[in-house]
Structure 1
Amino acid sequence: MTTNTPTPAASFLLGGDLRINRLGFGAMRLAANSLHGPTRDPRTGIAVLRRAVELGVDHIDTAGFYGRGDVHAHELIRQALYPYPEDLVIATKVGPLRDATGMPSGEADAGQLRGLVEEDLRRLGLERLDLVYLRVGGLGPVGGESIAQRYGVLAALREEGLIRHLGISNVDAAQYAEAEAIAPVTAVQNHFHLQHRDDAELLARCTALGSAYVPFFPLGGGNRPLDPSRYRRIAERHGATAAQVALAWLLARSPVMLAIPGTGSPDHLEENMAAATLRLSEADLAELSMEESDVRG
């Protein structure tokens, strides 16, 4: 597999003023491998974050509800990286609320969003958040509700200078249009990966408008986990892994695609970041398109 340093083509100008590598890091699995799993040793999370930055990560995606027990992603990020590198972009999500068990089963109303943003600022040690997503609903079907009032609150906080750029997460095209009419949508974070491509229409819209598209579960998750056996031929052809093929496919899918694979494992981090230099051929992409037909069929 090619191991050259990522070229400018592997970067993206977020919001017109933040140049970042298109392969970043998701903080969801730092505290635990899942929302239900056992807590990880925080020292491992700190080591993973520091190594991620050494490997070229300059975009970290986090959320105030990413945590388990006494271990939380925001605090790990601050402990590992503060004072932050000048080029590091930290994105966060607001909306979900934790219940008594620690699960993000509730949803904030418009009046609660300022408090969540201010809490993220405090916990991360920042005066302004680079990118804040309004995270809507749970993991079920998207759409079906207005986001105008809540997005308007974040737009007002942007005008105050607490937020640099705005995004939306777990939304459909109608909600995107609703938000765009209020304030620019810099990024969309929706469920999308090699075997879950239902959001292709909104991805195409983001591509046309130049908005970043940031898939959650980039290596599988939800009801459609990644099946490594489907991509073994291509992986073997490149001396790569199925996960690296899946990440390289995402980056090849659109120039606005930003991949944020998350892990609490140093070994998995090294594997994921190596995908930045994997270049899939036209034949590889055509073969994966055939796999898409198989999945849909």
Structure 2
Amino acid sequence: MPAGTITAEAAGSWKLGDLTVNRLGLGAMRLTGSAAFDLGTPSGRDRSLTVLRRALELGVNHIDTAAFYFSSLRSANELINRALAPYPDDLVIVTKVGPSRDASGQWLPWPAPEQLRGQVEENLRQLGRDHLDVVNLRMNAPGPVAEHFGALADLRDAGLIRHLGLSNVTAEHLAEARAIAPVVCVQNRYGLDARREGSDALLRACGEQGIAFVPFFAIAGEGRESGATAPEDARVRAVADAHDASPAQVRLAWTLRQGPHVLAIPGTGNPDHLAANVAAGALRLTAEELALLGAPAAEG
């Protein structure tokens, strides 16, 4: 499916609280290198800046990032600040707190609730903002969310955060958080072949409650941080061929068809891939194709 002049508006829009975003956004992790979590070789700085600026030209107004997205030479937040500040009024930058890494890239212990303020201030400093549009509490440890989410709710009341969300959570986490403060988005691993137990139910529950559901690894699937490395499913290839599209575009189109509240944040450091990802917002899969993609893989 050629990118042409298709923009992110083709995917439709949704509201994160009072902030309207196009449903096709950009994940910033890969701007720092192909393996940002492992301090992989950084992508070219100029190319990363080009991707960010081109994203806005293509109508992307939702960027997902985190202070722990960095490689040995690049910080996603710093790149966003450098490329896009002063920020357009309609740009929504969503970040996340909870996990953190030291300067060498080593993961630090799960923070105490009172340590989240420092993480929020780190994002503010790196992005050059006086408040953060949306902050997701990313759960990397088992247990309840109340104390940590409550700490973020206090920072929201103090004016440092506009809206709150959750990442890598269960339905129980969502209910617990909503008893403390409004939740505008849930960001979980989800995709055509990357569903976890209960994921479909949580996606539906978010829709019923007016909460955005934001999958990560929608293209990469089991490849996760390494990207889509496994051989492509024959069904995905067949649908892609029928639309003169790429398998990645089909996966994004399938993701967006899971509900009007479902957003997509594919990450890339490649301007051509960016344009192709945005164009996927205009790809309309038929009911027969959706049924084919949703059917169990054939044995043998």
Fold similarity call, TM over 0.5:
yes
CA displacement 1:134-191 (0-9 Å, x = unmatched): 01117xxxxx401110000000111111111100111111111111110011100111
Alpha-carbon spacing, 1:8–1:288, altered in 2? closer, same or farther (3 Å) = closer
Structure 2, unaligned runs of 5 or more = none
Aligned to 1:145: 143
Alignment partners' CA distance in 2, 1:103 and 1:52: 30
Q: Secondary structure of 1:107's partner?
A: coil
Give the residue type in structure 1 aligned to 2:16: L
Aligned to 1:201: 201
Structure 1, unaligned runs of 5 or more = 139-143
Q: Secondary structure of 1:216's partner?
A: coil
Aligned to 1:104: 107
> Which of 242, 266, 271 matches 1:266?
271
> Which of 165, 187, 190 matches 1:167?
165
> Which of 236, 249, 257 matches 1:252?
257
Aligned to 1:229: 233
Please identify, of 266-275 and 245-254, the stretch whose mean Cα deviation from structure 2 is larger.
Answer: 266-275
| Conserved? CA contact 1:166–1:186, under 8 Å | yes
**Cα distance, 1:104 vs structure 2:** 3.4
CA displacement 1:187-241 (0-9 Å, x = unmatched): 0011101101221111111011110011111112446756523301100111100
Aligned to 1:30: 31
Alignment partners' CA distance in 2, 1:179 and 1:111: 17
Select the structure that is richer in strand.
1
Q: Secondary structure of 2:164's partner?
A: strand
Alignment partners' CA distance in 1, 2:107 and 2:92: 24
Give the residue type in structure 2 aligned to 1:33: S
CA displacement 1:215-270 (0-9 Å, x = unmatched): 11111244675652330110011110000000000000111101000011112112
Calculate the TM-score normalised by the size of structure 1.
0.92
Root mean square deviation, CA, Å: 2.1
Aligned to 1:288: 293
Alignment partners' CA distance in 2, 1:229 and 1:265: 24
| Conserved? CA contact 2:8–2:23, under 8 Å | no
Q: Secondary structure of 1:29's partner?
A: helix
Figure out how many residues of one structure are paired with residues of the other and give that number.
Answer: 289
Q: Secondary structure of 2:262's partner?
A: coil
Calculate the TM-score normalised by the size of structure 2.
0.91
Q: Secondary structure of 2:169's partner?
A: coil
Question: Superposition pairs for residues 18-97 of structure 1, below 5 Å?
Answer: 18-34=19-35, 35-36=37-38, 37-97=40-100
| Conserved? CA contact 1:251–1:259, under 8 Å | yes
Alignment partners' CA distance in 1, 2:249 and 2:85: 29
Please identify, of 66-75 and 228-237, the stretch whose mean Cα deviation from structure 2 is larger.
Answer: 228-237
| Conserved? CA contact 1:217–1:261, under 8 Å | yes
